[in-house]
Amino acid sequence: MGVMAGTSNGTRREEILDAAAVLFASRGFHGASIDDLGAAVGLSGPAIYRHFSGKEDLLAQMLLRISQHLHDEGTRCVAAAGDPAAALDALLRSHVAFSLSQPALIVVHGRELANVAEPARRRIRRLQRLYVEEWVGVLAELSPQVPAARLRTAVHAAIGLLNSTPYALGGSGGGGELDPGATAGLLVDMARAALRSAAPASLPAVRERPRRRRGYRSKVLTERERFTPGRGGRIAPRHARRAGSGPRRGDHGRDRSRAHLRGA
């Protein structure tokens, strides 16, 4: 598993996971038996239980490994990049390399999650969300005027485009009529164009909510708050009245009370 070299150490457990990915991709999770899995790595079916508690556990560990790898690689790409544009390019190229070199894992990753039991499924979903948010964070820096929900939808669509490649190429991971390098370049360009379309020039800027300081009223006022009737029929800002430019409600009553006390 070239792209996941950090997790593949040639152990029997890794060999089983690799063989299971190919079988699950070609036959489906329910179409591959424990005996099939054992035969694929030169073991008897029951010998699989020395490494996994069952076929469900094997699938869960496979998808957890994929999700963790994608998340870790996405985090590394963003951290190593010098700017958001470079980070996006690194994310695109990393995912394309993974999808082209691991077509079986991509197929299983997209098709068999429903067969994973909780809490493993929840952990996989969480890793997937964190991976998507790495992309969303980069796009938000490139297009701060675009709502996060729009960016997130665009990321899901772009990743879906890249993950569909093994299906389009018959699960071979090859480029069909194109060589692997040309296929990778085409996919990067297509995904980048899809993400760029999430921020059209006509999209209005998102207005930030006014910042409020503790103990202070926001300086951003509504039209009703901004103007209130003043003396002589003039329209005066409310803050001007509070600053003492005009009498406030109750002032006349207090003045009469003070005069009464002085007279007494």
Q: Write the DSSP assignment of 71-140 as a string of letters.
A: HHHHHHHHHH-SSHHHHHHHHHHHHHHHHHH-HHHHHHHHHSGGGSPTTHHHHHHHHHHHHHHHHHHHHH
Give me the number of domains the chain comprises: 1
Lowest mean pLDDT among 63-67, 94-98, 185-189, 199-203: 199-203
In a domain, 252, yes or no: no
Residue 20 lies in a domain: no
Distance CA 98, CA 100 (A): 6
pLDDT band at 263 (very low <50, low <70, confident <90, very high): low
Give pLDDT tens digits for 125-180. 999 999 999 999 999 999 999 999 999 999 999 999 999 876 666 554 555 677 88
Amino acid at 6: G
101 within some domain: yes
What share of the chain in percent tops pLDDT 70?
Answer: 67
CATH number of the domain bearing residue 134:
1.10.357.10
Asked if pLDDT for residue 191 goes beyond 50, the answer is yes
Structural domain span for residue 142 = 63-196
**Contact assessment for residue 21 and residue 104, using Cβ atoms and an 8 Å cutoff:** yes
Confirm if 84 and 141 have CB atoms less than 8 A apart.
yes
Specify which residues 228 forms β-bridges with: 236
**What is d(CA 116, CA 108) in angstroms, rounded to the nearest whole number?**
11
> Would 183 be classed as within a structural domain?
yes
pTM (2 d.p.) = 0.70
Cα–Cα dist 109/17, whole Å: 13
Question: For 48-107, what is each residue's pLDDT tens digit?
Answer: 999 999 999 999 999 999 999 999 999 999 999 999 999 999 999 999 999 999 999 999
Which pLDDT score is estimated for 7? Answer: 39
**Domain membership flag for residue 96:** yes
Q: What is the pLDDT of residue 91?
A: 97
